[in-house]
Amino acid sequence: MPILRTSKSKWIAGISALVVISVGTLIGTPTNGKIHHIPLNMKATSSKADFAPITPNGVVPNNVFQALLVPSNSTRTGWVNYDQNNGTYDRQVNISVPVNFESTKTFFIDSLLDNAWKILSRRNTSSGYQILALHAGSDGHFWEIGVTVLNKAPAVPSLTSGKSANGPTGTNTAVTLRLLQYESA
């Protein structure tokens, strides 16, 4: 006698299938990229204040700034407005972090991963370490961040502020954060 001939067997099989589908749907539901919390190696804050001198309010969505963290004890040392308010947003902020190169690099990797940035690439460069990542903005655009943790002082000063970000002197590490509006999501 086949298993699904009785009405009771059909009900049990139907409910079992429904449970399997429901559990599979819940497991496959997007969690906005946040599936776990990575403890950061230093206190963090939003990068919004660092970008404020070159970013009018509302140009970059708050969810992007909330996801782009910088160490709380970092200091802005300069900025560059590449787009000159003409076209797609493309701005850079230089900061100095009063910790060593490896700790700074670890902070940015963990922070981006923990805040739903899709890491496009991570690589060592001749000047330090570079991370490229993408984040969906609430404005319907993707936003790309290029983080370069410098292991030496950059050769070119900031084009706008006249200040240059210093490389690691003692325990300070220079970092550039270049934020670009990418494309529609």
Two tokens, residue 66: 């909330």
Written as one letter, the residue type at 12 is: I
25 and 54 in a common domain: no
Domain tally, the chain: 2
138 and 62 in a common domain: yes
23 and 98 in a common domain: no
Question: Is 36 part of any domain?
Answer: no
Decide: pTM greater than 0.75. Answer: no
Question: Is 39 part of any domain?
Answer: no
The span from the CA of 92 to the CA of 77, in Å, is 11
Question: Is 134 part of any domain?
Answer: yes
84 and 1 in a common domain: no
64 and 115 in a common domain: yes
Domain extent for 9: 1-30
Please state the rounded mean pLDDT for residues 18-26: 59
Secondary element (H or E) of residue 61: none
115 and 53 in a common domain: yes
pLDDT, one tens digit per residue, over 44-95 is 999 999 999 999 988 999 999 999 999 999 999 999 999 998 889 999 999 9
90 and 25 in a common domain: no
Question: Is 38 part of any domain?
Answer: no
Question: Is 50 part of any domain?
Answer: yes
**From 49-53, 74-78, 146-150, 151-155, the region with the lowest mean pLDDT:** 151-155
Question: Is 147 part of any domain?
Answer: yes
SS3 119: strand
The span from the CA of 179 to the CA of 143, in Å, is 7
157 and 91 in a common domain: yes
